[in-house]
Amino acid sequence: MRQSRFYLVVAAIAILLTSTALSQNAEEKAPQKKRGHVRIATLGPQAPSVDANAEPQKIVERVIAHWKGRFAQVLPDKPDLIVVPEACDRAGGLSGEKRLAYYRVRKNQVRDFFAQVAKENRCYIVYSAAREMDDGTWRNSSVLIGRDGQIVGAYNKNHVVIEETTESGILCGREAPVFDCDFGRVAFAICFDLNFDELRLKYAKAKPDLVVFSSMYHGGLMQAYWAYSCRAHFVGAISGLPCEIRDPQGDVLASSTNYFDFVVADVNLDCCLAHLDYNWSRLRALKAKYGPKVTIKDPGFLGSVLITSEHETVTAAEMVREFEIELLDDYMTRALAHRHAPGNME
């Protein structure tokens, strides 16, 4: 009897050890996300149209159901960040007092739904909507929700369209915040903002890794201009128009289509820009050492290249320092200093 119990105990221990080993092996074999990599989902559906005479709470429920269905399109890809357009919960068909009555009933219901989705799926969500402040005034804001469902922060649209104030009482924001996420630093712009240098120059100085643009207006070439000027990746979530993810040279990495109004893409934020002048031999040496672990992207005619690290432990910044490669901003600063040095100007 004792011998039988002994063998049962031994067998149980063996099963436990085997199970533990298999679990460890599975963890070891599981693909690890490389440094700076983030999976971004951007969606561009228009807000649902509703009966203007419907009860405000019914409209809230309709909006939530709309976004629940839209999120179901991208959540299977397990994105790290989901971005939706400007005024994402402003139902079509409402205006004036009826829209205000809807907002009064909506309060934080849509926000809380987004927060629940973020928490359940361990992702960040950026949504843009009208917000009533504690003093009763209104802002057009992009709100960043963290993986835990908590509010990380909010950006208030700096440059509102004139009628936003005259017709809806929305005030212009003042600040240009940049928030830290576990994949990088994130800045924001909303719609009309894209036309103004004041905000863009603040971000160019702050050097975010990613600019998130929620909008009802595409902006055309301004998206590429902002990406290059801010030396940042740029993601646009545009209502009813193409939603694009761009690299810091302004090139489109991924885009929604006429058939699919969303796109999900893996983006590597571990990169930096360098000018070709004085860097040719250093860039060749960099590629010779790191091979496929580094990409050096030349879009042609621009004069700068995008250096991106695919290495598991060495960052793009470390590679640049190792080979003493002069970054684009440093080169432009040096060129300006040269211009203003004594004897160098007519």
Over residues 196-217, mean pLDDT: 97
The last residue of one of the domains, among 222, 244, 269, is 269
pTM for the full model?
0.89
* pLDDT for residue 152 is more than 60: yes
Expressed as residue numbers, the domain containing 277 is 272-340
Residue 320 in any domain: the answer is yes
Domain identity same for 237 and 286: no
The pLDDT value given to residue 91: 86
Whether residues 260 and 288 fall in one domain = no
User: Is there a single domain that holds both residue 63 and residue 111?
Assistant: yes
Residue 93 has pLDDT above 50, yes or no: yes
pLDDT at 25: 41
Return d(Cα 311, Cα 319) in angstroms, integer. Answer: 10
- State mean pLDDT over 85-99: 89
Is residue 15 assigned to a domain? no
Domain's final residue, options 216, 238, 269: 269
How many Å apart are CA 203 and CA 226, to the nearest integer? 9
| Beta strand spans in 106-251 (E) | 124-132, 138-145, 151-156, 179-181, 184-190, 210-215, 233-238, 244-246
Two tokens, residue 75:
């959540």
Same domain, yes or no: 196 and 285: no
Query: Could you tell me the CATH number of the domain that includes residue 131?
Result: 3.60.110.10
188 and 51 co-located in one domain: yes
- Confidence check: pLDDT of 6 > 60: no
Q: CA-CA distance, 305 to 272, in Å (whole number)? A: 8
Q: What is the mean pLDDT of residues 55-82?
A: 97
Q: Does a structural domain hold residue 18?
A: no
pLDDT at 53 over 70: yes
Residue with more model confidence, 150 or 30: 150
Q: How many domains does the chain have?
A: 2
Structure confidence at residue 16 (pLDDT): 41
Q: How confident is the model at residue 197 (pLDDT cuts 50, 70, 90)?
A: very high
Asked if 178 and 61 sit in the same domain, the reply is yes
* 41 in any annotated domain: yes
Q: How many angstroms from the chain centroid is the CA of residue 282? A: 32
Whether the per-residue pLDDT at 221 is higher than 50: the answer is yes
- Residue 123 belongs to a domain: yes
Q: Does 285 fall in a domain?
A: yes
Half-sphere exposure of 25 (CA within 13 A, CB side): 6
Are 240 and 96 in the same domain? yes
pLDDT of res. 35: 62
Is the pLDDT at 99 greater than 80? The verdict is yes
Q: Are residues 47 and 103 part of one domain?
A: yes
253 domain residue, yes or no: yes
Do 104 and 243 reside in the same domain of the chain? Answer: yes
% pLDDT > 90, the chain: 84
Q: So what's the pLDDT on residue 41?
A: 98
**pLDDT at 36 (0 to 100):** 82
Residue 207: what pLDDT? 96
Average the pLDDT over 96-115 and give the result.
94
Residue 90: inside a domain, yes or no? yes
How far apart, in whole angstroms, are the C-alpha atoms of residue 288 and residue 95? 62
Only one residue has tokens 């930096």, namely 272
Query: Are 106 and 129 members of one domain?
Result: yes
Q: How many residues comprise the chain?
A: 346
Q: Are 154 and 219 part of one and the same domain?
A: yes
Q: Using an 8 Å Cβ cutoff, are 286 and 305 in contact?
A: no
Largest CA distance in the chain: 104
Domain end marker among 246, 269, 292: 269
Instruction: For residue 317, count other CB atoms closer than 10 A to its CB.
Output: 14
pLDDT at 10 over 50: no
Domain check: are 308 and 253 in the same one?
A: no
pLDDT for position 52? 86
